[in-house]
Structure 1
Amino acid sequence: MDASLAAVLVGIAGVGGTLASGYLAQRDAHEVRRWEGERQHRDNLRDCYIGVNGRSRACRYALADYVQAMATDALTDDIRQRAAAAVNAHRVQFDQAQMLVPDSVLEDTRVVNEKISILYGVLRRLDGGVPQPDDTIEQARSLLNDLWPPLKAMRQAMRLDLGVSQTHPTGR
């Protein structure tokens, strides 16, 4: 092989390498952006789960105070306001979750939201003096106790979705 042919081949290899390196760098940058986007979504999802779980539990505790205060004739405006604020914060967080979480977790979250709404409705009707026929403080206590299993199922579904748990309590 003569020197001029070798120089041409070296030049072609150099240009090819330069072009290939640009393509590979662009492909790697795209992969990094995709990975960062997935990580950001996962972080947003985790933050949403923390918010929903925390606000749901805080709501349950505020409603427990409401039930106890009603049962002992110790209800105050402060207890009413804390319960209302907790329910409203929970609803806002649930609204956010509806736009972010997968259906498998959303179903458990919806069950918790529904049970909180039913319990709060019973308490508000009792407090307002306009209860439905089956609205009693005993029913409110029962509804309050019935919140624990759905809260646990919701938390476990969230952990399962995040990959920090292996099984769902309902076997899903």
Structure 2
Amino acid sequence: MGSTAIALVAAVVGVTGTLLAPVLAQRSSAKGQRAEFERQQQAAQAQWEREQRQAELAARRTCYVETNAAYRRYRIQLMNYLWHVHRDEVTEAGKEALEAARHAHHAAFAEAQMVASAAVLAQLDDVAKALSEGYRRTKCLEEGNPDPDDSFDVIQAYLQWIWERWKEMRAVMRADLGVNNSP
């Protein structure tokens, strides 16, 4: 009886193993496929996130270039207009050029408010306020109603000071884009 029982147990184990092998192989294969699918999903998600970061960086870069140019143009137009006021040579074309630069500045600032980092936005805001003050002071001088102690030279020095603030603003923009600020 001993060998018959052993043979019977061996047969049951063999048949059970034969029957379970495909089920276990399928489960193992499904588990491997699920793991591979998850790895592919993670890789696709990581790739999408990289592409999003690159697109955001490109959009910020484009915005910063346009904003930088608009701020610079506005300041230059203010300087030119101040000279025309000083020489009493203000023309309609000069007024239009200043207003065009001013409106371009406002549009660039509005766009930057949507994409700029907090550090860049703080710099943009400071320089925008300074440009606005330079505009106000220049227009008051033109109208013959300057602020106390304001003159052509004082306003010109103020607009030169804005140039230094612009350099700081540009450095913060470059740092936000990951560009080295060394000379």
- In structure 2, give the amino acid aligned to 1:74: E
Q: Which AA in structure 2 matches 1:31?
A: A
Structure 2 letter corresponding to 1:121? R
Q: What does 1:118-137 correspond to in 2, within 5 Å?
A: 118-137=133-152
Q: Is the 8 A contact 2:171 2:181 kept in 1?
A: no
Q: How far did 1:10 drift?
A: 3.2
1:95 to 102, 110, 129: 110
Query: 2: CA distance between counterparts of 1:111 and 1:125?
Result: 21
- Counterpart code for 1:78: A
Q: Give RMSD over aligned pairs.
A: 2.2
Residue of structure 1 in register with 2:49 after alignment: 34
CA-to-partner distance for each residue in 1:50-96, whole Å, 9 max, x for gaps? 11111111111111110111122221111111111111211221222
Corresponding residue of 1:152: 167
Alignment partner, residue 52 of structure 1: 67
Unaligned stretches of 5+ residues in structure 2? 1-13
Aligned equivalent of 1:85: 100
Contact 1:119/1:144 (<8 A) preserved: yes
Identity %: 29
State the Cα distance separating 1:35 from its structure 2 match: 1.7
Aligned residues: 168
- Contact in 2 for aligned 1:156/1:165 (Cα 8 Å): no
The match for 1:16 is 31
Match of 1:64 among 67, 74, 79: 79
TM superposition score normalised by structure 1 = 0.85
Which ranges in structure 1 are unaligned for 5 or more consecutive residues? 168-172
- Structure (1 or 2) with the greater helix fraction: 2
